[in-house]
Each structure stands twice: as C-alpha cells, then as structure tokens.
C-alpha cells in the first residue's frame, strides 16, 4: 500500500514538474521545475529498487545538468525569460496534435504488453520482502542496501 501511495505522489510530482518546466515563461523557474521533475523521477527509481540509478540521477541531472542549464540561460536570454514575445512557435497546435498522436501510439503499443501477464511474485513489494527475508540466499552487502532503501521508501510513503 505504501508503494502505491508513493508511486502516485511521485508520479504527480514528476508530471507536474515536467509540465511546468515546458510551459513556464520564465526560464529560471522552468529549470527549477525541471529539477523537481528529476527529483521525482529519482524517487520513482528508488521505488523500483534502482538505488544506484537514483543516486546517479541526483548527481548527474540535478547536480550537473541543472547547473549547466542555468549557465546557458544566463549566457543567452534575459533571465526574466521571453520578455513578452510569443512563447510558442508558429503552428504550435499542430505540435500538440502530433504529440497526442505519439501518445496514442504509445498506448496502443502497450496493448500487447498487457496480454503478457506479469508474474505476481515480481511485484516489487513482494520482491523486496522476499529478498530481505533472512532465509534469502543473497549477499549481505546487497541485503543491507536494500534494507536501508526499504526504510527510506517506507519513511517517504508514510
């Protein structure tokens, strides 16, 4: 249950962050929204037990790319952003249509995936309990990391 709540919250953060990042007139605000999106995604990685990727996500994206983007904005546009000019490009509605078409295509392509029933045992929560079971024959280092991750997840979920 905790993962379900965590998933919805994190995905809401990610989607909202992405939306704000691409729609914000002020580029600086946009970058911060993008950082929020990166953080949300990092949380989702943790939820999927990819703790190393989550750490890399924080280091590379939030740490490096964000700063790089800020510098680029500083070196090019006025910090306030598009200063009242049209924000969107010519024929932007066509862009929306194409994006929607891609979305429909992606959903359609999920259709055959649904037919493959995922083994219930592979649900991350059960997987987590399974491999953190004392009888589980894994190496102790990995178990330790996973336990700490579970603690973090549980704390976030609560």
Partner 1 sequence: MTLHHYLILAAVLFCVGLMGAFTRRNAIVVLFSVEIMLNAANLNFIAFWRYSDNPELLHGPMFTLFAIAVAAAEVAVGLALVIAVYRHFKTVDLESMNTLRE
Partner 2 sequence: MTTTTLALIPLLPLLAAALTCGLQNGRRAAGVAIAAMLGSCGLALAAFNEAWGMAAGAHKTFNFEWLTVGDTAIPLGFVLDPLNGAMLAMVTFIGLLIFIYSAGYMKDDERMARFFCYLSLFAAGMLGLVLANSLLLLFMCWEIVGVASYLLISFWFHKPEAAAAGKKAFIVTRIGDMGFLIGILLAFKTTGTLTLYDGGQGLLETLPSGMVWGMQASGLISLLLFMGAIGKSGQLPLHVWLPDAMEGPTPVSALIHAATMVAAGVFLVARAIPLFEAGDTLPVVAWVGAITALVAAFIALGQYDLKRILAYSTVSQLGLMMVGLGVAGVSVGMFHLLTHAFFKALLFLGAGSIIHGCHEEQDIRKMGGLAKPMPVTTIAYLCGTLALVAFPFTSGFFSKDEILAGAWATNQPVFWIAAAASLLTAVYMTRQCMYVFPGTHRGAHTPHESPRIMTVPLVILALFALGLGGLAKDSVLAKLPGEAAQHETIVIVVSIAVALGGIALGWLIYRGRALGQAADPLAVTPLVRKLWFDELYAATVGRLWSLAIIIAEQLNELLLRVRDLAVLLADRTGNAFAIGGDRKLIDTLAFDGMCNRLRSAGHAVTRPQNGFLPGYLRLIALGAVALGVLVFWIK
Binding site for partner 1 (CB under 8 A): 3-4, 7, 11, 14-15, 18-19, 21-23, 27, 30-31, 34, 37-38, 41, 44-45, 48-50, 52-53, 56-57, 60-61, 64-65, 68-69, 71-73, 75-77, 82, 85-90, 92, 94-96, 98-100, 102-103, 106-107, 110, 113-114, 118-119, 122-125, 127
Show the tokens assigned to 133: 């079971």
For residues 27 and 42, give the distance between their C-alpha atoms in angstroms, rounded to a whole number. 22
Show the tokens assigned to 73: 């904005």
User: Which letter does DSSP use for residue 60 in this model?
Assistant: I
For residues 128 and 145, give the distance between their C-alpha atoms in angstroms, rounded to a whole number. 11
Contacts of 82 (CB under 8 A, 6+ apart): 25, 27
Q: Is residue 44 within 8 Å of 7, Cβ to Cβ?
A: yes
Residue 32 Cβ, how far from partner 1 at the closest point, in Å? 11
From the list partner 2, partner 1, none, pick the one residue 108 interacts with, judged by a Cβ distance below 5 to 8 Å according to partner type. partner 2
**Of residues 69-108, which lie at the interface with partner 2 (CB under 8 A)?**
89-92, 94-95, 98-99, 101-102, 105, 108
Enumerate binding residues for partner 2 (CB under 8 A): 89-92, 94-95, 98-99, 101-102, 105, 108-109, 111-112
């Amino acid at each position: 249950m905790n993962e379900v709540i965590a998933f919805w919250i994190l995905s809401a953060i990610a989607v909202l962050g992405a939306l704000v990042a691409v729609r914000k007139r002020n580029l600086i605000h946009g970058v911060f929204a993008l950082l929020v999106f990166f953080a949300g995604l990092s949380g989702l990685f943790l939820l999927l037990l990819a703790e190393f990727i989550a750490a890399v996500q924080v280091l590379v994206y939030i740490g490096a790319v964000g700063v790089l983007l800020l510098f680029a904005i500083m070196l090019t546009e006025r910090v306030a952003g598009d200063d009242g000019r049209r924000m969107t490009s010519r024929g932007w509605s066509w862009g929306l249509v194409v994006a929607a078409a891609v979305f429909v295509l992606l959903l359609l392509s999920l259709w055959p995936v649904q037919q493959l029933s995922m083994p219930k045992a592979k649900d991350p929560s059960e997987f987590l309990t399974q491999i953190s079971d004392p009888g589980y024959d894994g190496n102790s280092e990995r178990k330790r990391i996973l336990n700490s991750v579970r603690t973090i997840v549980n704390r976030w979920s609560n």
